[in-house]
Amino acid sequence: MLTPAQLRDRLHELGISCELRTLTDWREKGLLPPLRSVGAGRGRGVRRYWSDVVLEQVMAAEWFIRDTGRADDALIGLWFSGFSVDHVAAQQAWVQAIERIQHQREKQASRFSGTYVGLAGSWLRKMRRKGLLDPLPQGPSQGSVTLMGELFQFTQEWLRDEVERDDEAYRDLVADVLVRLTGADGVSVHLWVDEIWAAIEPVSVFSITAYTGFVRSLSVQEMRVAQESLIQVVHMLQQTFQLFGVVDDRLRLVMTLRLMRDFFGPLVARTVILCHRNAPELPIRETISAIHTFVLSVQSIDINKKEDGALLVSERVRTEWKETKQKLTALWWSALA
């Protein structure tokens, strides 16, 4: 248990200046969960406290506020990152953030020749310069890293550029990434992607003009369903960063927050909800859960770095990944049959 004063003191120990009035303000704005109350004993009144897990949430709230200066951006950032905030309040904050973020991205992208692709490439370069993506796998696995970077860049374009984007080219890139990651037959994967695309009709929600209406239409149950998967993605990112040598807890948290707010959060939430609405037979949540289980099973002792920079994983991990891929392939074949 942490009283507000104890939480303030713990934050100060971590180098975060946050006074009691700030914690009260953030709680009233929904950035922190309500305080719990417990009797302190006969004649000693009531003690108000948070559970220990609030420490990470207040660290996240502090980073979001410092990064954006806006409580609504912090609220939706916390929701995307799996923290305990009111779903309705998060939905309202999500709506408020959409047009403002799109305007900011348009302004940023206009400075690059490749617009949104160029902007995403700039983000990746900055992360590498800051050491946030090091050490990168080299050698045989470098192709997968390059392909994932390309997917990240073109996803930004597809999400935001309604004039220039090429839906067919984007579908092909998604399929190529899945083939590289799973080792499945290329023709089958391309057919799967086309079928799934037709089933969930992502253009009707992922285009910026439809985005606001989609978010306004969400039910609390849909928000809950989406956040279950978001929490699993958060765990996977944190585990991956740790495996790649990011041992500082605070740095690992900040890296995760940025990726969840700017990329994985909106993407995963919309995809999960679209499948939940339009094609509930598609095992998207089961897929995220299975990959989550696999990633969390990998430990540092399972990964060794060779002299040429390539990463060598243990036989156990290779076997578990092969079994996971086989199970998921069977699951998707059954759903699409």
Q: Does some domain include residue 292?
A: yes
Q: Looking at the predicted structure, is the pLDDT value of residue 300 above 80?
A: yes
Nearest to 83 by CA among 161, 31, 29: 31
* Structural domain harbouring 207: 94-336
Q: Give the pLDDT confidence of 90-117 residue by residue, as tens digits.
A: 999 999 888 776 665 555 555 655 555 5
Nearest to 156 by CA among 275, 269, 266, 236: 266
pLDDT band at 85 (very low <50, low <70, confident <90, very high): very high
CB-based contacts of 144, cutoff 8 Å, min separation 6? 137, 180, 181
Provide the sign of the torsion angle of the four alpha carbons 209, 213, 216, 221, taken in this order. Answer: negative
Q: Does some domain include residue 168?
A: yes
Angle between helices 284-297 and 265-278 (to 10 degrees): 140
CB-based contacts of 32, cutoff 8 Å, min separation 6? 23, 26, 50, 54, 57, 58, 61
Rounded mean pLDDT of 245-271?
Answer: 91
Residue 137: per-residue pLDDT: 39
Q: Does some domain include residue 68?
A: no
Q: Give the pLDDT confidence of 145-170 residue by residue, as tens digits.
A: 566 666 766 676 666 666 667 788 88
Number of domains in the chain: 1
Query: Could you give the CA distance from residue 51 to residue 54 in angstroms, rounded to a whole number?
Result: 6
Residue 134: per-residue pLDDT: 44
Q: Does some domain include residue 195?
A: yes
Query: Could you give the CA distance from residue 282 to residue 176 in angstroms, rounded to a whole number?
Result: 20
Tokens of 200: 């969930």
CB-based contacts of 102, cutoff 8 Å, min separation 6? 160, 208
Q: Does some domain include residue 189?
A: yes
Q: Does some domain include residue 251?
A: yes
Q: What is the pTM of this model?
A: 0.78
pLDDT band at 141 (very low <50, low <70, confident <90, very high): very low
| 60 within 8 A of 78, measured Cβ to Cβ | yes
Rounded mean pLDDT of 262-290?
Answer: 93
Q: Does some domain include residue 218?
A: yes
Q: Does some domain include residue 232?
A: yes
